Chains A and B, each alone.
Chain A
């Protein structure tokens, strides 16, 4: 197997809130193979956006990367000096934000903002930047005549395309897309995802897609990383994690979304409760308070168990996952208090 493009090991990111430290990411490990789309899934506040931002090392003022490795193309992004990191930004690692409206500067034309990156970061001259901008607009399917427009003159879907064009500008190796379609309606979502997939395949880029929406993962991702409360609960191929989820949280997440095949199973089963407060997380397995399969042993730190090659699961009962899945498919399982 070829070496993955990105290999995150035991990543820790903490926020200082008053005198306390909140460990938003507490030992996350996962790989992003070359030329693939990896979905980073989890509910709000599980640390997925923090992971995404930590990869660029542009994080909130009160946040620090307190440990771990981010091996990217042979370099540890957690350790290299800021200058070296900045050289990588956008040339190797680009970013597609959730809301392109707020992430484009309202007072400059889109062409200016493309040109800014192409010239200041890509070393192009005015003419080359103009040609490249036109090429990029063609790639994302926007008329080149609209280059001179301001961000507010575009619709939501169009702006997201502009954001993708911006991310592609310098031919990066990795694009991190943080909830890129969440703010859009489903039809536009699909168009944007199709486009992203098509460009990713054609250009051979790797993509990390941060989302809370399992159906987005099922639609375009090759691999899945499921996060819960600052830790990776389970990771594997999209197929493994969605058809054979082996962590109770992934099973619950799977039940909480409409059937991807469109079969009318009818009932959606939510996971009761909310993720723990990361300022004071529960001892042992962090999913224990909400888990219908929790045992006494779950009060101790769960091990990482490979249920299949390249499919690690953070659970004491990972080996029993086949039988747990059958239980988990029943709505009653999630209704009864654990």
Chain B
């Protein structure tokens, strides 16, 4: 089957992209000015002590050797030791990754479900006052910076009305037996509400506008006219034919949006003190904790690459013209 071959070649591409990302990350941190140990080594250390530490982290070896060791470690799932926390980077990242993923996906799913429905509706109501009023509003949400929107929501719903907590993932003192227990608790969801709302409001414009313009294009297609000549109901024409076809590019944009969102998370996680990968990344760079920053970058890249693969596979599944090509 052509399908397996396509997936196989896609996986090979993925491996190549991953290798490129890993290499760029490695070089980027080595080429940055300053000694990576500068923040770590106390100025009162003797030269000997300093060299000993450098050797301990393998920084005295030539670049190509460091690179090979780095690759070898990566293949074994070893991301190195955090300078700051003195724990394996992997451990730290996997502690934070779920928080970031929950924030990203909950906000994006809300944004896409809303955006797709509202976009289809606005295309249907083309030219009405609803559409005339809605489009500038959507454009406004697209233009608002996330950190600003986050701070406004905080000011209103947290500081002023007191409906939602201001930051973190849970109230101090609350203990949970496991992750599932935590993630389904009222406490956690209340903390999630504002950052997720910020990201959702910021992100819904893309699927909404995309869906709307696709719908407007598809509604002009012959097969939509034919569906009307067939006497099919308005619902069947608009949903089963027009919306179904307009949805294809929107689904692909979801994967790309995940990438953007992870980037946006850096800002929103900082505003809401959300203990996720984005905030950790900022802290790690600020503290010159290179292994941790490198690991966080790598993890974000991994998620983006994986989502792109998923989008390709999904597209092939949704559009028969691709899977049979």
Interface residues of A (CB under 8 A from B): 56, 58, 86-91, 95, 97, 99, 102-107, 109, 116-117, 120-121, 150, 152-153
Contacts and interface: CB of A to CB of B under 8 A. Distances in A.
A153 B244 contact: no
B241 A152 contact: no
B229 A91 contact: no
Nearest to A152: B321
B233 interface: yes
A60 B227 CA distance: 14
22 contacts: A89-B229, A90-B231, A91-B231, A95-B226, A97-B222, A99-B222, A102-B222, A103-B226, A105-B227, A105-B244, A106-B245, A106-B321, A107-B245, A107-B320, A116-B240, A120-B232, A121-B232, A150-B321, A150-B324, A152-B320, A152-B321, A153-B324
Q: Can you list the 8 inter-chain pairs with the closest CB atoms, starting with the nearest?
A: A89-B231, A102-B222, A103-B222, A150-B320, A103-B226, A105-B223, A58-B228, A90-B230
Given A105-B241, A107-B244, A150-B321, A120 B222 contact: no
Contacts of A117: 230, 232
A107 B319 contact: yes
B245 A58 contact: no
B245 A90 contact: no
Interface string B213-247: 00000000111011111111100100011001100
Interface residues of B, number: 23
A105 B231 CA distance: 15
Contacts of A99: 222
B318 interface: yes
Contacts of B230: 89-90, 116-117, 121
Interface of B: 221-223, 225-233, 236, 240-241, 244-245, 248, 318-321, 324
A106 B226 contact: no
A102 B245 contact: no
A95 B245 contact: no
A105 B229 contact: no
B321 A87 contact: no
A153 B325 CA distance: 9
A95 B320 CA distance: 25
Contact of B229 (A58, A106, A152, A153): A58
B222 A106 contact: no
B229 A90 contact: yes
Contacts of B236: 116, 120
Nearest to B247: A107
Nearest to A116: B232
Contacts of A107: 244-245, 248, 318-320
B222 A121 contact: no
A123 to B, nearest CB: 12
Contacts of B226: 95, 97, 103-104
Contacts of B233: 120
Nearest to B224: A105
Given A102-B221, A120-B232, A152 B245 contact: no
